[in-house]
Amino acid sequence: MSLVVSGLVAGHGKVPVVRGLDLAVPGGTVLALLGPNGAGKSTVMLTLAGLLPRLGGEVRVGDRSLPSGNPGRTNKSGLVLVPDSRALFGGLTVAETLSLSEREGGVTSAEVSDLFPALRKRWKVKAAALSGGEQQMLAVARALVQKPGVLLIDEMSMGLAPVIVEGLLPVVRDIADSTGAAVILVEQHVALALEVADEAMVLVHGAVTLRGTAAELRKSPEVLRGAYFGGDTAA
């Protein structure tokens, strides 16, 4: 399922943070949304998920135009967010968390175990007792059992050691390939994000300063660095 965003204006209250953002993510592909802290990346993700009302523009999942500021309808339309806070209920076990979220046609518990082997022995453990890496696995697994057509992952690496991140990020590639979902990944580990993404976009102060294929940007670190400082290099 594809995601198409046209002329998105997003912000908090009536104050725009992001203006006129256009992007298209076909099913089965990963877009890395990059940029420094405060660039507006999380604002974009929360707005796409309906947790913040749009100030302008349109969001389409497949052939369906999504309502503004309606997270319930947005989720039912197939767009699922993994927030940077993970938003887990600490008193629920891994099994309970997945059981309460699953939808027909979503990833099964057995497939979750294959995707995240570290969760296999933690099935009856409460979310609050999991390690940071295990909690992140559970947050992504909870999204997958909801059968997302579009998956938004905001800062998968938040608070995690680099060695854990190296093991988690390739799963994003596997998800896009195996489920056909369109994936947007917000990530501070730029090099690792570019290894799993198809396309990449750099956002600075709410404006796109660079966009291109991940392969191109991996070969042009100096261009990437320039984009982070707000250079007008957007394609």
Domain count, the chain: 1
Give tens-digit pLDDT for 184-223: 999 989 999 999 999 999 999 999 999 999 999 999 989 9
Task: State percent of the chain over pLDDT 70.
Answer: 97
Domain range for 209: 3-87+148-228
Give tens-digit pLDDT for 208-219: 999 999 999 999
The CATH number of the domain holding residue 42 is: 3.40.50.300
Q: Which two tokens stand for residue 234?
A: 């957007």
Across 54-75, average pLDDT:
95
Specify if 100 maps to a domain: no
What does the alpha-carbon distance between residue 203 and residue 207 come to, in Å, rounded to a whole number? 5
Give tens-digit pLDDT for 117-168: 889 889 999 999 999 999 999 999 999 999 999 999 998 888 788 888 888 8
Which DSSP symbol is given to 93? B
Specify if 160 maps to a domain: yes
Q: Residues with Cβ < 8 Å from 175, sequence gap 6 or more?
A: 115, 140, 144, 151, 181, 183
Q: Is the pLDDT of residue 231 over 80?
A: no
Give tens-digit pLDDT for 76-98: 999 999 998 888 999 999 999 99
Specify if 177 maps to a domain: yes
